[in-house]
Amino acid sequence: MVRIVEVGPRDGLQNEQVPLDTRLKAAFVAALAEAGLREIEVTSFVSPKWVPQLADSGDLWPLLAPGPLFSALVPNAKGLERALEVGVDRIAVFTAASDAFTTKNVNMTVAETIEVFAEVIAGFRARYPGGWVRGYVSTAFECPYAGRIEPAQTAEVAARLLELGVDEVSLGDTIGVAAPPEVRALAAELDGPKDRFAWHFHDTRGTAVANVAAALDLGFTAFDASAAGLGGCPYAVGAGGNLATEDLVYLLERWGLRTGVSLAALARASLPVLEALGRRPTSKAQLAALSAP
């Protein structure tokens, strides 16, 4: 069974400068759920000074209608406290393969993030024994500040996260540079069963779908994507949009894999958000679905 983790409400919106109404975000999440997405990363409990767009995470969470599995990013103890206050029961911690990136993104070295996460995960599991935790490794292929990253370096950080007890590691091509041979090279270095890894491709240079195909060929079954290809990281210069969920769903369905997602409903789910941002759809599969008779 293939899994799609929809990160549009979080990764898709975090870099947007136009403040979006919390109810519009809740409606976006509801529309994504209605389209059939079962795992949705909704928001982040990060510093509102660092990511103003997601400052409303504590107000957004209670507006979510039950159904899908919802999760949120948590960077530290303060974030965990805020997340637990509103009942967040699935969290994602996030580090990177390069100190240069984590220093810009979370003001810590990679080693410092691992120390902080040990406490965050312990605190989280004290409240929710066996609660689901994802760990991200950003700059899995290349860092906007440190350049190319050796696959072994990324695999090492992924191994540290698994040792901490995360359920899954998501490998982030943060700035959307990788091509299939790099996916194969990184996959060869990973230690652990394939179902402990998800791939998080940004589509800055149009290689995301090809990278998904490479990972599928290797037997991986979990992929992150963002409706309409919204997205970018505020601390990754040049990070373009995420892989569009529409493009991913089209590829998977055409591949013969069932996603449970209605492409027609998904293509419409992001339209109110795009309108509020003054954008037009650009995902190829979304455009095709919207223009279908």
Residue with tokens 């303060």: 78
DSSP 8-state class, residue 12: I
51 φ/ψ sector (left φ>0, alpha ψ -120 to 50, else beta) = beta
Q: Which does 76 bind (CB under 5 to 8 A by kind): Mg ion, ligand HMG, none?
A: ligand HMG
**CA 6 to each of CA 41, 163, 177, 262: distance values in angstroms, whole numbers, following the listed order:** 6, 25, 21, 14
**Least CB distance from residue 287 to ligand HMG, whole Å?**
24
DSSP annotation of 67 reads S
For position 168 contacting Mg ion by CB under 5 A, the verdict is no
Q: Which is nearer to Mg ion, 153 or 242 (CB)?
A: 242
Return d(Cα 248, Cα 201) in angstroms, integer: 11
Q: Which helix (H) or strand (E) holds 214?
A: helix 208-217
Catalytic residue among 233, 243, 249, 252: 233
Question: Contacting Mg ion (CB under 5 A), which of 6, 11, 56, 182?
Answer: 11
Strand partners, 79: none
Selection from ligand HMG, Mg ion, none that 79 binds (CB < 5 to 8 A by kind) is ligand HMG
Is 143 one of the catalytic residues? no
Distance between CA atoms of residues 202 and 238, nearest Å: 11
Residues that bind ligand HMG (CB under 6 A): 11, 14, 44-47, 50-51, 73, 75-76, 78-79, 82, 94, 105-107, 136, 138, 172, 174, 200, 202, 233-235
Please identify, using beta-carbon distances, which residue of 80 and 271 lies nearer to ligand HMG: 80
Active-site positions read: 233
Residue numbers at the binding site for Mg ion (CB under 5 A): 11
